[in-house]
């Protein structure tokens, strides 16, 4: 277990503030959480229940995570379409600039990997490396997810999920949906204590989820991926049934700069289930990745 201290502060951007969590010192790694509509607190869970999370990585690096606009402790600017997908991508540049980061490593988890890839395409000069965790280049992964729901979850849980999906999503329903499918995210089913701890750590923001999900309805990064010139690392858990490995391995042959590492005892959150090996892999990549464009 790590005793690395995690601090939180509000960062003033253009017309709104962003909640930033930091731990450690050294070469910076900027972490973008998933969702859409979840805050970044799950990167640093209760260590007594979950272990260190990204605190392990913070032993050698300055690890920074932020709440996306409209999520957690971050505000929403008074502009047209404030929650649009493109504005979330723009926020990465704003955060990098406001923190004075010089070509950090960008790590995107789940939905955050989409933002990280789009940022790498738009601003290759502003990052040195790209780490993708639990991501996929298209929405095809939802086929595997729906199959896992049908095959692994009890009938009553599937009925509850169907009721949630039939109504407009609000914060409480988004939390309940996550609670119901939580076993699909992990190699080992979380204990009741772990489940409640994680649900108590994360805040859910359905308005963000609804708006961004609309922007993701037809997302397909395949044509753009060969244009990513940043050294990249794709990390996946072999027990991930939300974004199953076959969909994450679809980056092969497309994200030409990528190396791939599988975690055999992890699902969608390898930094929670195998934090020490995860930290070692990312640290090695940051230290040894070829920084030259191919």
**pLDDT at residue 3 in the model:** 66
Query: For residue 82, is it within any domain?
Result: yes
Residue 269's domain comprises 6-288
Query: For residue 160, is it within any domain?
Result: yes
Query: For residue 1, is it within any domain?
Result: no
Question: DSSP strand E in the chain: where?
Answer: 6-12, 17-23, 27-32, 61-66, 105-109, 129-133, 232-237, 258-263
Q: Which pTM value belongs to this model?
A: 0.95
Residues lower than pLDDT 70 in the chain: 1-3, 290-294
* Distance separating alpha carbons of residues 98 and 91, to the nearest angstrom: 10
**pLDDT at residue 48 in the model:** 95
**pLDDT at residue 215 in the model:** 84
Query: For residue 293, is it within any domain?
Result: no
* Distance separating alpha carbons of residues 97 and 235, to the nearest angstrom: 27
Digit-coded pLDDT (tens) for 204-216: 999 999 999 888 8
Query: For residue 294, is it within any domain?
Result: no
Q: 5 burial class (0-12, 13-18, 19+ CB within 10 angstroms)? A: exposed
Is the Cα torsion angle 158, 159, 165, 168 positive or negative in sign?
A: negative
218: CATH: 3.40.50.1820
Q: Would you tell me how many other CB atoms lie within 10 Å of the CB of residue 9?
A: 11
Rounded to 5 degrees, what are φ and ψ at 22? -135, 150
Query: For residue 172, is it within any domain?
Result: yes
**pLDDT at residue 63 in the model:** 98
What's the total number of domains in the chain? 1
**pLDDT at residue 294 in the model:** 43
Farthest CA pair distance, the chain: 53
Query: For residue 98, is it within any domain?
Result: yes
Query: For residue 208, is it within any domain?
Result: yes
């Amino acid at each position: 277990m790590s005793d690395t201290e995690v601090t939180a502060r509000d960062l003033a951007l253009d017309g709104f503030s962003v909640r930033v969590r930091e731990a450690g010192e050294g070469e910076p790694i900027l972490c973008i959480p998933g969702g859409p509509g979840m805050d970044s607190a799950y990167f640093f869970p209760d260590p007594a229940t979950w272990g260190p999370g990204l605190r392990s990585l913070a032993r050698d690096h300055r690890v920074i995570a932020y709440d996306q606009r409209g999520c957690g402790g971050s505000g929403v600017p008074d502009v047209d379409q404030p929650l649009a997908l493109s504005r979330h991508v723009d926020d990465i540049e704003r955060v990098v600039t406001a923190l004075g980061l010089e070509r950090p490593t960008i790590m995107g988890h789940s939905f955050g990997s989409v933002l990280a890839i789009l940022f790498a395409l738009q601003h290759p000069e502003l990052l040195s490396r790209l780490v993708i965790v639990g991501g996929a280049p298209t929405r095809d992964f939802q086929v595997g997810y729906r199959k896992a729901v049908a095959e692994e979850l009890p009938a009553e849980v599937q009925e509850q999920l169907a009721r949630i999906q039939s109504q407009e999503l609000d914060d409480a329903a988004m939390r309940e949906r996550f609670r119901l499918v939580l076993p699909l995210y992990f190699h080992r089913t979380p204990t009741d204590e772990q489940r409640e701890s994680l649900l108590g750590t994360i805040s859910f923001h359905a308005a963000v989820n609804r708006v961004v999900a609309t922007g993701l309805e037809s997302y397909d990064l395949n044509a753009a991926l060969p244009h990513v010139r940043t050294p990249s690392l794709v990390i996946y858990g072999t027990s991930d049934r939300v974004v199953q490995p076959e969909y994450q391995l679809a980056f092969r042959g497309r994200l030409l700069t990528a190396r791939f590492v599988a975690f055999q005892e992890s699902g969608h959150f390898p930094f929670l289930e195998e934090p020490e090996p995860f930290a070692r892999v990312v640290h090695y990549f940051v230290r040894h990745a070829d920084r030259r464009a191919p």
